């Protein structure tokens, strides 16, 4: 009789007891036990769009790169050019394989001249940590994987700034979108970033794991007068899809390159530092991608889901990667890869849903844009 294979470690959020007290339904995601929903996905989704939502994002990976060559090391490791960042600013980026395939999408924050924070997706954080360690090794820079030592809470929604402001001496209004500042929140040393994954204004707050409970409690208390709700991964997914933001594992994976995902703007082909995947991505940029990620709105009855085939007439043109019934818009929306000739907004295609073809229209992204 053979021994059963050892199961992969599943991490528990430092806020697990608080989620349970709020009645959360938990799920395993990216190697972590995290809240899927509390009162319900639609209710949580609308709370973020109309007021504010509180998220536990402690499953994300936090990787610190520092040293005299930290900027050059990251420029060599990633497709973007972090050396162009001013201190206190951030950029969206990706780490790619030699063939140009996306291994993860990331946010890079410049905390100081020689210190950066790279935030990776939960399921990819160990891989990204190992790859960055290898890629920065030739430089005068070191990688410190702070993923388990760092917790992350986010407040997202139109009332976010009024909720967080009384808890900090930081001038939150002065933090621009994709900016970050260091200070105290509820008396806890923190990094406060004006970033998010919902399409709304808001703040992502990094603290040491041991103080995550204090931060959550302070944010929760401050948010009650504004009608803030706790929000799980279910509503986080519908919010990001309305905002046209790709999800790694659904819309991005190693078989996809940035140009196919309409993220070619992130790739610094002309930056002075060579980087892994540059030659392949240059060839793809010159030849053009063989497929493109587009938005679809269903004009017939049905919801397109991940993996559903897409047709242009009788010709198979692609596949749906994400789909839902939009709580904000009241109609079914999806992301799909289709042939470049079928990617123009206004193009009518069909999605196969339970052996039936349902009409859909290619539309510009994002589906939802917050009022300014």
Express as a percent the part of the chain with pLDDT over 70. 98
| pTM for this entry | 0.96
Q: What is the dihedral of CA 244, 195, 178, 86, to 10 degrees?
A: -140
Beta strands in the chain (DSSP E): 11-12, 25-29, 32-37, 53-56, 61-66, 90-96, 102-112, 115-120, 142-145, 150-156, 180-185, 188-193, 202-208, 229-231, 292-298, 309-312, 315-325, 332-338, 348-353, 356-363
Give per-residue pLDDT as tens, 298-348. Answer: 999 999 999 999 999 999 999 999 999 999 999 999 999 999 999 999 999
CB 228 within 8 A of CB 157: yes
Q: What is the 3-state composition of the chain as percent helix, strand, coil, each rounded to the nearest 5?
A: 25, 35, 40
Phi, psi of 101, rounded to the nearest 5 degrees: -65, 145
- The C-alpha atoms of residue 162 and residue 155 are separated, in whole angstroms, by 11
Give per-residue pLDDT as tens, 164-218. Answer: 999 999 999 999 999 999 999 999 999 999 999 999 999 999 999 999 999 999 9
Give me the pLDDT at residue 1, please: 35
Residue 85 half-sphere exposure toward CB, CA atoms < 13 A: 31
Give per-residue pLDDT as tens, 224-247. Answer: 999 999 999 999 999 999 999 999
Give me the pLDDT at residue 5, please: 42
Is 346 exposed, middle or buried, given 0-12, 13-18 or 19+ CB atoms closer than 10 A? exposed
What the chain holds in terms of domains, given with CATH numbers, is 11-60+149-242 (3.30.1360.120), 61-145 (3.30.70.1400), 291-372 (2.40.30.110)
């Amino acid at each position: 009789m053979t021994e059963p294979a050892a199961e992969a470690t599943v991490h528990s959020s430092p806020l697990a007891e608080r989620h349970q007290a709020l009645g959360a339904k938990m799920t395993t995601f990216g190697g972590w036990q995290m809240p899927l929903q509390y009162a319900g996905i639609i209710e949580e989704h609308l709370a973020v769009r109309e007021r504010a939502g509180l998220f536990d994002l402690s499953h994300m990976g936090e990787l610190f790169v520092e040293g005299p060559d930290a900027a050059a090391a990251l420029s060599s490791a990633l497709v973007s050019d972090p050396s162009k960042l001013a201190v206190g600013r951030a950029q969206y980026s990706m780490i790619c394989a030699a063939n140009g395939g996306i291994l993860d999408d990331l946010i890079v924050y410049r905390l100081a001249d020689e210190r950066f924070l790279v935030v990776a997706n939960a399921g990819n954080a160990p891989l990204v940590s190992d790859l960055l360690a290898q890629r920065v090794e030739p430089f005068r820079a070191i990688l410190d994987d702070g993923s388990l030592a760092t917790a992350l809470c986010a407040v997202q929604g139109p009332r976010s700034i009024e909720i967080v402001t009384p808890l900090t001496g930081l001038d939150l209004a002065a933090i621009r979108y994709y900016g970050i500042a260091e200070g105290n929140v509820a008396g806890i040393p923190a990094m406060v970033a004006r970033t998010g994954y919902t399409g709304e204004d808001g703040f992502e707050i990094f603290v040491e794991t041991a103080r995550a409970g204090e931060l959550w409690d302070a944010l929760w208390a401050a948010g009650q007068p504004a009608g803030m709700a706790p929000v799980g991964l279910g509503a986080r997914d519908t919010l990001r899809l309305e905002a046209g933001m790709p999800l790694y594992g659904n819309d991005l994976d190693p078989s996809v390159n940035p140009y196919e995902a309409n993220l070619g703007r992130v790739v610094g082909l002309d930056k002075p530092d060579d980087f892994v995947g540059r030659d392949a991505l240059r060839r793809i940029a010159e030849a053009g991608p063989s497929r493109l990620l587009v938005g679809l709105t269903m004009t017939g009855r049905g919801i397109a889901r991940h993996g559903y085939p897409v047709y242009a007439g009788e010709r198979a043109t692609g596949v749906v990667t994400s789909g839902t019934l939009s709580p904000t818009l009241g109609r079914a929306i999806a992301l799909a890869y289709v042939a470049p000739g079928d990617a123009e907004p206004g193009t009518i295609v069909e999605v196969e849903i339970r052996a039936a073809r349902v009409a859909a229209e290619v539309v510009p992204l994002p589906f939802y844009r917050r009022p300014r």
